[in-house]
Amino acid sequence: MAGARRKLKKLLPTVGQVRVREGDSGPTASADTARVSVVVPVFNAMPELARLLTSLADQDLEPALFEVIAVDDGSTDSGRSLLDRFAEEYPNWRVIHQRNSGWPGSPRNVGIEAGTSEYVFFCDADDRLGNEALRRMVDFADRHQSDVLAPRMIGVGRSVQSTLYAQTSTDARLRDMLASLSPQKLFRRELLDRHGIRFPEGKVRLEDGIMVTRCYLASRRTAVTADYDYYFLHARRRRQHQLRAHESDRVYGFRREDRFAYRARPP
């Protein structure tokens, strides 16, 4: 891993350090070579954020072949400085700090626009990945030409749609996939761009489900891979404050948990 970091650092002078906005650490050293961009929206996710970041740093995929794009949506905890430390240590990491938008759609869209890789994968800030997750997903999507790939998820202190992940399917049925509308999936960027698919922004209820459903309908091939424990979905810890301290913790009749952890249905 140390050798890979040195190799990436040598590439830094060749990468245009253009900031798309104030608070942006700039393009990663792997921006031109990454196969997958991992987009992480973050808001006051400590201490769980450290768990997710560590699992990304421990991936066995060559660092030149992936980049992490973390979009801090106005955090007020120590997560801001932790993100910056990871970006300083790992040349394939990018951190974008922005004013709080109050909803996860905006930071996810910022992350999409900040990358150019063939695939995009979305993580929540308080979950974690298996160490082989990114390499296995990219290999699977390449081999089977998947536009959308749902990796096997493991619930930690919460339930998941276990029947969906019971076996691998290289061409899954739409009616089966509609049981999982959470965004923790691998998406082909060409699919997103060709159909102009992005997350709704603003206070849109179930905005991730809207985006994922559009992808299913436009996808030429949607798949499920169940050969490995890819993604560990941890129980959400409720907090007293919400995305905006002055807002109610009820939005459209549903309790909202911060750190973009709100789910109205099993993933």
Which residues are part of the catalytic machinery? Answer: 208
C-alpha span between 149 and 228 (Å, rounded): 13
Q: Are 72 and 96 in contact (CB under 8 A)?
A: yes
Q: Are 33 and 88 in contact (CB under 8 A)?
A: no
**Alpha helix positions (H), the chain:** 2-11, 48-57, 79-89, 105-114, 133-144, 174-177, 189-194, 207-218
Q: Are 106 and 99 in contact (CB under 8 A)?
A: no
Pairing state between β 254-255 and 250-251: antiparallel
C-alpha span between 129 and 153 (Å, rounded): 9
Q: How many CA atoms lie within 13 A of 78 on its CB side?
A: 6
C-alpha span between 105 and 77 (Å, rounded): 21
